Amino acid sequence: MKTDTNPTTYRKRPAGERGQAEHGWLHARFSFSFAEYFDPQHMNFHSLRVMNNDIVEPGGGFPTHPHQNAEIFTYVIEGELEHKDSMGNGSVIKAGDLQYMSAGKGVLHSEFNPSKDNRVELYQVWILPNENGGEPRYAEKPLGDMAVKNGLTLLFSPDGKEGSTAIRQAADIYFGQLDGGNKLEVATHASQPNVWVQVISGQVTVDGHTLGKADGLAIENQAEAIRIAASEDSKMLIFQLANQ
């Protein structure tokens, strides 16, 4: 039962209304203001600052560049992404897997599509940390076939619970997948009353709101479980966020 006096609000971010950039080698869609795309109505959702859906053409990529004070997550939807950074990490992230980089006081990295023939599609997500500075961190998350079927897999959390990777923010990040016709409930917490659902593929209904591929839904002040039903095979990222 709801104990909070503030009502729950829902705000859909349709895929077709996102910002965009076309650079030949890169086809980018922005849920929030980013680079040359600026929309004061879509700056962030609490600590969730960047939700970029990128397609990188064969051989294309982001050359070495710096970041600091950002929690950076990459989920590869299709193809492969080659990562290198100033911490000495270098690897190829495959479709269905993730990587995490906490930029801390500063890090350099590059991301390239190593294929000569195939595109790579990915989500790049930034969350603002709850503290600045600190040593940069890196981790890979080989999700793939290990993801919970018709359920949630906890990927990242503040304390590394349930086999997740610890991050510098009071946020729990889940990967969800449902076969068509299946349902699940997402428990919410008073310390994380804000939820963002980003559909990777398929079609779902979240508390009565229909979302298709690349649609997002912001839910604020949620004190009850969120109910998700899939009308077709679906995958999604779910972010539980503290007030910020």
> In sequence order, what are the residues at sequence separation of 6 or more whose Cβ sits closer than 8 angstroms to the Cβ of residue 37?
19, 20, 21, 30
E strand or H helix that includes residue 201: strand 194-201
Evaluate whether residue 209 is within a structural domain.
Answer: yes
> In sequence order, what are the residues at sequence separation of 6 or more whose Cβ sits closer than 8 angstroms to the Cβ of residue 110?
61, 62, 63, 64, 65, 83, 84, 85
Evaluate whether residue 170 is within a structural domain.
Answer: yes
| pLDDT given at position 105 | 97
Domain count, the chain: 1
Strands 194-201 and 216-220: antiparallel
Full pLDDT tens readout for the chain, 244 residues: 344 468 999 999 999 999 999 999 999 999 999 999 999 999 999 999 999 999 999 999 999 999 999 999 999 999 999 999 999 999 999 999 999 999 999 999 999 999 999 999 999 999 999 999 999 999 999 887 778 999 999 999 999 999 999 999 999 999 999 999 999 999 998 999 999 999 999 999 999 999 999 999 999 999 899 999 999 999 999 999 999 8
CATH (domain of 226): 2.60.120.10
E strand or H helix that includes residue 108: strand 107-112
Evaluate whether residue 226 is within a structural domain.
Answer: yes
Evaluate whether residue 4 is within a structural domain.
Answer: no
| pLDDT given at position 144 | 75
| pLDDT given at position 145 | 74
Cα angle, residue 175 at apex, residues 63 and 78 outer, rounded to 5°: 45
Evaluate whether residue 133 is within a structural domain.
Answer: yes
Q: Which two tokens stand for residue 177?
A: 């997948």
Find the domain containing 99 and state its range: 9-241
| pLDDT given at position 218 | 98
| pLDDT given at position 200 | 98
Q: Which two tokens stand for residue 219?
A: 């839910």
| pLDDT given at position 244 | 83
| pLDDT given at position 223 | 87
Among residues 135, 132, 163, 156, the alpha carbon closest in space to that of 240 is found at 156
| pLDDT given at position 6 | 83
| pLDDT given at position 143 | 87
Evaluate whether residue 2 is within a structural domain.
Answer: no
Evaluate whether residue 1 is within a structural domain.
Answer: no
